[in-house]
Amino acid sequence: MAFMSVLFAISIFVLLPIVGFLSFSVYVFYRHWRYQHIPGPTRDGFFSGNIPFIQNETRRVPGSGINACHFQWYQKYGPLFVFWIFHVPIVVIVDPDMAKKAIITLNLPKASRVYSKAASVFGQRVVGRGILTEIDHETWHRKRAMLNPAFHRKYLMNLMESFNSVGEEFLEELRKKADGKTSVRMADEFAKVTLDIIGKVGFGINLGTIADPNSKFPSAVSKTLKGIESSFRNSFWRLQFSMFPFQNSVIKSIKYLRAFAAKVIEERCSAVRDGEDTPKDVLEHILREAMENPHLDIEDLVDNFLTIFLAGQETTSNQLSFTLYEILKQPEIEKRILKELEEILGSRNDLEFEDLSKLEYLGQVLKEGLRLHPPVASIQRMLPKGDSFGGYKLPPNTNVTVSYIGIHKSSKFWENSDVFDPDRFSPVHKENILQFSYSPFSLGPRSCIGKTLAQVEAKVLMARVLREFKCELLPGQTAAEEENVTLRPRDGVICTLTTRK
């Protein structure tokens, strides 16, 4: 009897894994079958999907990632294709009309599989359920409505003094390096100034990152973003002991940022209670959300605080870096910008809000920078009920990726698509731009809340840098993109600076 019991236990121990493996294999086979009618690259393995190819590509081209693979597959398989992350199918769209259907017409919800990785990294809450990562549409809509006034043009009009004052601090630091010899990594410099601007105009705080090379804030932001990217790339981080030191450093950075944000929020709350005059800024609207929703705690408020800091700084910094690179590669573009600045500003250094709309050519240059180097390459949505796209029926609960960078760089939608040409956005030519083919800030109701602020910031900083300095790229600099949470300039846009006479 005892022998039979042992034999039975051994049989169960042996058979259960076999049954589990066979069941999972049938499940994977079924998923493959459901998407077999959709074009796409051949899977490298039954269970691994296209992971081996993606890994090989990222090793072959330093800094590249999934978006580079998307563009290769788009050129081979067309505007809609499916690829596999292990057993998970991802349908990629590279077409303006299909993008409109997904983002605007159907208003597909965000894919929790993706955005949860920014909400929490290595088990540590980062942006939680802020407006970027909030999946529930009704909750997101309430949060967005609460914050919208802080990003309205009427509010931004009153902030030009802050934009200019931080811009002047930025120039003052760059002047110390403007000897025509010192190498200046402009991507790093833009990262610091954009942090200071968001701190001042959004939260009424002086971070001092421009002048203080030892400031903890920018390094904590950088480390946190690297952690988010690592969690996107590596689903098995819990099992990789070699990553533990990196994970610990990321967790420390996240804790520092959240503690910093909580302190700023608590100090503002105290000022309001004491009847002090406080800025009508983003932070005020975050606090208003708390007043209207008493169930929210300090951690909920910190979520939106960090969302705006992390998303706003990284995207604008990268836009400025890439665009400066493209300007410096074409001296005639720089000459046209300087001529326009002279005509509009004259002897003035500071920009007024009314100047921004008059700087038309600079606006075209910045738009073209966003076309060729969009800060966010793609967005991810979930198709809950199934639908037809491009003549293909997609099953319910399909993961859908809209590749904005693919649309922006496609020769099907843009003439000479790989050429940096600001004139394509001129009044004469912009009517030729196909609707929904230009979406650097996404489409639909969940488009970037800070897009107007970002473009005011970009115009002010680019105008002041180009007017003040003659910048020259060091040999070997390229526009190569490094895929992280956003697309960054891999080489850093390293220049020498000389003060203009």
DSSP H helical ranges for 95-136 = 96-100, 112-119
Q: Confidence band (pLDDT; 50, 70, 90) for 1?
A: low
- Is residue 299 within 8 A of residue 255, CB to CB? The reply is no
pLDDT value for 91? 98
Query: Is a pLDDT exceeding 90 seen at residue 380?
Result: yes
Q: Confidence band (pLDDT; 50, 70, 90) for 170?
A: very high
Report DSSP state, residue 352: P
Domain range 126-370+444-459, CATH architecture: Orthogonal Bundle (1.10)
With a pLDDT cut of 90, the percent of the chain lying above it is 59
pLDDT value for 156? 86
pLDDT digits (tens, 9 = 90+) for 328-345: 999 999 999 999 999 999
More confident call, 144 vs 183: 183
Domain ranges of the chain: 126-370+444-459
What is the spatial distance between Cα 434 and Cα 417, in angstroms, rounded to a whole number?
Answer: 13
pLDDT value for 461? 97
Lowest mean pLDDT among 72-76, 84-88, 221-225, 481-485: 481-485
What is the spatial distance between Cα 363 and Cα 403, in angstroms, rounded to a whole number?
Answer: 24
Nearest to 255 by CA among 299, 212, 213, 296: 299
Calculate mean pLDDT across residues 212-228.
88
Query: Is a pLDDT exceeding 80 seen at residue 447?
Result: yes
| Terminal C-alpha separation, the chain | 99
Lowest mean pLDDT among 89-103, 206-220, 379-393, 396-410: 206-220
The residue behind tokens 């300039």 is: 489
- Is residue 225 within 8 A of residue 309, CB to CB? The reply is no
pLDDT value for 125? 93
Give the largest CA-CA distance in the chain: 100
pLDDT value for 449? 87
Handedness of CA 236, 242, 243, 247 (dihedral sign): positive
What does the angle CA 359 – CA 363 – CA 364 come to, to the nearest 5 degrees?
120
pLDDT value for 2? 66
DSSP structure string for 36-67: TTS--PPPSBTTTBTHHHHHHHHHHSTT--HH
Q: Is 269 annotated as a binding residue?
A: no
Can you tell me whether residue 469 is helix, strand or coil?
strand
What is the spatial distance between Cα 463 and Cα 166, in angstroms, rounded to a whole number?
Answer: 14
What is the spatial distance between Cα 152 and Cα 142, in angstroms, rounded to a whole number?
Answer: 17
Query: Is a pLDDT exceeding 90 seen at residue 65?
Result: no
pLDDT digits (tens, 9 = 90+) for 278-321: 887 888 878 877 777 777 788 888 998 999 888 888 899 999 99
More confident call, 1 vs 498: 498
Query: Is a pLDDT exceeding 80 seen at residue 61?
Result: no
Collect all residues with Cβ–Cβ distance below 8 Å to 102 and sequence separation of at least 6: 93, 108, 381, 383, 389, 400, 402
Count Cβ atoms within 10 A of the Cβ of residue 335 and give its class: 0-12 exposed, 13-18 middle, 19 or more buried: exposed
- Is residue 231 within 8 A of residue 238, CB to CB? The reply is no
Most confident of 3-17, 107-121, 126-140, 355-369: 355-369
